[in-house]
């Protein structure tokens, strides 16, 4: 690997917008091991057409799938000082950052967007696993705070879509401090009486799961997603325990009472739409006022009331 392959090529690809893999390739499902035509896999949003296994999905496609008509607006996130520790392992952190920025075309591992879901306003903060494993450093903390404040400003629910290995260790203690920061952020949303929903995608572990991700009103998990505090490898190495089958998978968490539901990728938008509607529009719609068929005068009077009481939302439809 060189500067050319690590930096220049991905940058050019990001500019041209062509994915790394040619479209004529076959992809093997890691679960059922059946071969899937690559284009078919993209069309299925990385859900195996044979066994329904959910593979990781890029963050932009995910946003498109959630918002009405695939339309949303991103907000610009605060600029952060890169590499506060001047961290260097076998590589400089600042170089790693630049590579991931070039590869993904993003500044960091979080995207904040707003739009409507099933007609209701919503703010979405989505972590991108492609960007350094979705790890949480100062930029992610700042992004989540910005998302929370936008939700409060718009009086909209906050939806966090998580995909992260945990804290970004290259930012040392400052990454750990993003745990209380993001807890504060999501509590601003909750204190404002707005719904806070988390969608756990594969994987969500470490500092992300042990902070804002576990504090939602409603926790939704994608099928098969690994969700936990310590990652499976860490547990095996530290405690030398063999992990039971299905350990830390979404279904396991559901069984242990840690999430409300496991929802398939293609049903997520409808589920979120329904939940937001239930929480954001709690009052009965005026149109369902009981109708007394034998009292025509009264019925007429009610019709007038109904017309007056119709909320703007309905009127706009």
Partner 1 sequence: MRHFLEFEKPIAELEGKIAELRHLNADGEVNIEEEISKLQAKVDRQIRTTYSKLTAWQKTLVARHPDRPHFLDYVAGLITDFTPLAGDRVYGDDSAVLGGLGRFRGRSVMVIGTEKGKDTETRVKHRFGAGYPEGYRKARRLMEMADRFRLPVITFVDTAGAFPGIEAEQRGQAEAIARSIEACLALRTPLVSVIVGEGGSGGAIALATGNRVYMLEHSIYSVISPEGCASILWRSAANAQDAAEALKLTAQDLLQFRVIDGIIEEPLGGAHRNPEAAIQAVGDRVEQALAELSEIDGGVLRARRKEKFLDMHQTLAA
Write out the residues near partner 1 by the rule CB under 8 A: 80-81, 84-85, 87-90, 138, 141-142, 145, 167, 169-181, 183-184, 187, 205-207, 209-215, 227-230, 234-235, 237-239, 241, 243-244, 247-248, 256-258
Q: DSSP assignment, residue 80?
A: -
For the chain, give percent helix, strand, coil, nearest 5.
Answer: 45, 15, 35
Q: How far is C-alpha 290 from the geometric centre of its chain's CA atoms? A: 40
Of 94 and 116, nearer to partner 1 (C-beta) is 94
> How near is the Cβ of 179 to partner 1 at its closest, in Å?
5
- Asked if 182 contacts 144 with a C-beta cutoff of 8 angstroms, the reply is yes
- Nearest-angstrom CA–CA distance, 159 and 126: 8
- Asked if 186 contacts 209 with a C-beta cutoff of 8 angstroms, the reply is no
Of 173 and 288, nearer to partner 1 (C-beta) is 173
- Asked if 56 contacts 129 with a C-beta cutoff of 8 angstroms, the reply is yes
Of 235 and 302, nearer to partner 1 (C-beta) is 235
> How near is the Cβ of 159 to partner 1 at its closest, in Å?
18
Of 84 and 119, nearer to partner 1 (C-beta) is 84
Of 46 and 196, nearer to partner 1 (C-beta) is 196
Residue 112's CB is within 10 A of a number of other CB atoms, namely: 25
> How near is the Cβ of 148 to partner 1 at its closest, in Å?
11
Of 195 and 273, nearer to partner 1 (C-beta) is 195
> How near is the Cβ of 53 to partner 1 at its closest, in Å?
22
Q: What are the distances in angstroms from CA 242 to CA 238, 245, 248? A: 11, 9, 13
> How near is the Cβ of 86 to partner 1 at its closest, in Å?
9
> How near is the Cβ of 157 to partner 1 at its closest, in Å?
19
> How near is the Cβ of 190 to partner 1 at its closest, in Å?
10
> How near is the Cβ of 225 to partner 1 at its closest, in Å?
13
Of 37 and 229, nearer to partner 1 (C-beta) is 229
Helix (H), strand (E) counts: the chain: 14, 9
Q: Which residues of 131-151 are buried (b: 16+ CB within 10 A; e: fewer)?
A: bbbbbbbbbbbbbbbbbbbbb
Provide the pairing of β-strand 73-74 with 35-37: unpaired
Residue 206's CB is within 10 A of a number of other CB atoms, namely: 25
Of 89 and 317, nearer to partner 1 (C-beta) is 89
At 161, give phi and psi (nearest 5°): -105, 115
């Amino acid at each position: 690997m060189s500067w050319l392959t690590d930096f220049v090529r991905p940058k050019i690809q990001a500019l041209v917008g062509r994915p790394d893999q040619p479209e004529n390739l076959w992809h093997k499902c890691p679960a059922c091991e059946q071969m899937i035509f690559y284009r078919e896999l993209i069309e299925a949003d990385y859900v195996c057409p044979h066994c329904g296994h959910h593979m990781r999905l890029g963050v932009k496609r995910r946003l498109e799938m959630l918002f009405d008509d695939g339309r949303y607006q991103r907000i610009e996130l605060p600029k952060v000082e890169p590499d506060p520790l001047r961290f260097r392992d076998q590589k400089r952190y600042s170089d790693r950052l630049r590579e991931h920025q070039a590869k993904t075309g993003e500044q960091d591992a979080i995207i904040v967007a707003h739009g409507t879901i099933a007609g209701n306003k919503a703010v979405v903060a989505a972590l991108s696993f492609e960007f350094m494993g979705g790890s949480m450093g100062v930029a992610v903390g700042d992004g989540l705070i910005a998302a929370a404040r936008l939700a409060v400003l718009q009086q909209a629910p906050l939806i966090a879509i998580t995909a992260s290995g945990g804290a970004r260790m290259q930012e040392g203690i400052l990454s750990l401090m993003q745990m209380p920061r993001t807890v504060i952020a999501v509590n601003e949303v909750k204190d404002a009486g707005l719904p806070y929903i988390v969608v756990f995608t594969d994987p969500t572990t470490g500092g992300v799961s042990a902070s804002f991700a576990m504090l939602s009103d409603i926790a939704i998990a994608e099928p098969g997603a690994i969700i936990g505090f310590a990652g499976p490898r860490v547990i095996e190495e530290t405690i030398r325990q063999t992990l039971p089958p299905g350990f830390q998978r979404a279904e396991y968490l559901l069984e242990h009472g840690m999430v409300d539901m496991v929802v398939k990728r293609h049903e997520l938008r409808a589920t979120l739409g329904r939940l937001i509607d239930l929480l954001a529009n709690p009052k009965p719609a005026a149109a369902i006022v009981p109708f007394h068929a034998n009292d025509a005068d009264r019925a007429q009077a009610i019709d007038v009331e109904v017309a007056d009481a119709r909320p703007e939302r309905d009127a706009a439809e």
